[in-house]
Amino acid sequence: MSNLAIINATIVTPTGHSARKGDEMAHLRIIKEGAIHIADGLITYCGPMAEAPSATTNVQVIDAEGRVALPGFVDSHTHLIFGGYRPDEFEWRLKGDSYMSIMERGGGIQSTVNATRTESAEALREKAEWFLSRMSEMGVTTVEAKSGYGLSTESEMKMLDVINSLATDPERKLRIVSTFLGAHAVPKEYKGRTAEYVDLIIREMLPAAKGKARFCDIFTEKNVFEIEDSRRLLKAAREMGFELKLHADEIVTLGGAELAAELGATSADHLLHVSDEGVRRMAEAGVVATLLPLTAFALKEPFAPARKFIEAGAAVALATDLNPGSCFSGSIPLTIALACIYMKMSIEETITALTLNGAAACGLAEVTGSLEVGKAGDVAILEFDNYHSLPYYVGMNCVRTTIAGGKITYNANH
């Protein structure tokens, strides 16, 4: 593998090997006239150019010309694999239908399930590759991808196999973390028999998903998987060695955040309607609050209370929630804009949330999420030399070069 040296960079990065919590989220290390050396995919030097060891032979040099170098972004919550599209539902929602009412009449997740079951693994993979390329262009170097549109053992495993075939592709552009989300909805064949479907997941799907997924996630929601079913499933998953995630308190206040804290989940996600007690317990238990502003925006819902989490001392991550239904967007620039404009997060907090804390939400804070010796050579070089410009360019992609594991995966053509 070739070596890389980034010179003349304004390095902007959180530091550490675990999520940054509360006030710590605003602390960034800033190095003007900095250099980053990457060998065999890992950072071997990150600091002032003046103190950098002299470059060895065989080094590709990237002159950043003073521009900002950030850790590559981590999109820690996506539904990357799916069959079909749902533009009709989007229009119904514009005309006043609610997300849950569409789901209750058999649309929503079930409609994507029907399409995913019939689509071939190759077709699913091809579609995902298109999104992965778009993500690279926005500086993303790690992405979490969920199953959850199969809802049968066979189709869920098909989805996980697609995720893993992308993750292990030697040509891959990003690191991919796999999550099993068999409990995304109750499939139509189990309508009214939620507990039996949970039994099926525990008996058949979880053992089959072992080794194919690192995390087990669930849509904990009123009239989907309520607290008792969620607890039962997540406990079984934990016993089988899965780390835990929850879609929690997205549509109504149900106690998903409290359950995440009780079970020591890695993250609880969405949290638009989290209770104050849920915020407190998540902070206490060290559960990462993964907030998904694009979903709130697309569903015209109130944004999650980012400031409450930060003030309670919790770690906040930001992610896109890319999926064909509630939020058909993987836009990192728009996520940044919404976090800064509507969620009152500072740009420093936003950067930490999209890098180190996203990595922590994927169980990868020791591997990526900051520019430090020993971490992966995952870097996003921006167009400008001042990171404060990130939210100012509202919704515009300002990534010039993306480097993942020491390889250039995107370079803007000017």
**Residues at the interface with ligand NIG (CB under 6 A):** 79, 108-109, 112, 219, 247, 250, 295, 321, 323-327
- Nearer CB in complex with ligand NIG: 219/410: 219
Helix axes 109-118, 153-167, angle to 10 degrees: 80
Output the smallest distance, CB 103 to ligand NIG, in A. 8
Element (H, E) at 98: none
Contacted by 16, from ligand NIG, Fe ion, none: CB < 5 to 8 Å by type: none
Q: How many residues bind Fe ion (CB under 5 A)?
A: 1
Residue 70: closest CA among 347, 360, 362: 347
- Nearer CB in complex with ligand NIG: 62/162: 162
Q: Hey, what are 378's tokens?
A: 């995952």
- Nearer CB in complex with ligand NIG: 298/399: 298
The string of DSSP codes covering 313-362 is T--EEE-----SSS-----HHHHHHHHHHTS---HHHHHHHHTHHHHHHT
- Give the largest Cα separation in the chain, rounded: 67
Contacted by 112, from ligand NIG, Fe ion, none: CB < 5 to 8 Å by type: ligand NIG
Output the smallest distance, CB 394 to ligand NIG, in A. 23
Q: Can you tell me the distance from the alpha carbon of 385 to that of 32, in angstroms, rounded to the nearest whole number?
A: 9
- Under rule CB under 5 A, which residues in 235-294 are in contact with Fe ion? none
Kindly indicate which of the ranges 42-50, 108-116, 317-325, 401-409 contains the residues binding Fe ion, using the contact rule CB under 5 A. Answer: 317-325
- Under rule CB under 5 A, which residues in 318-347 are in contact with Fe ion? 321
Q: Can you tell me the distance from the alpha carbon of 338 to that of 144, in angstroms, rounded to the nearest whole number?
A: 21
**Site membership for Fe ion, residue 144 (CB under 5 A):** no
Direct distance between the N- and C-terminal alpha carbons of the chain, in angstroms, rounded to an integer: 27
Contacted by 158, from ligand NIG, Fe ion, none: CB < 5 to 8 Å by type: none
Residue 159: closest CA among 85, 188, 134, 167: 167
Q: Hey, what are 17's tokens?
A: 């090997």
Contacted by 187, from Fe ion, ligand NIG, none: CB < 5 to 8 Å by type: none
Contacted by 326, from ligand NIG, Fe ion, none: CB < 5 to 8 Å by type: ligand NIG
**Site membership for Fe ion, residue 221 (CB under 5 A):** no
Output the smallest distance, CB 266 to Fe ion, in A. 15
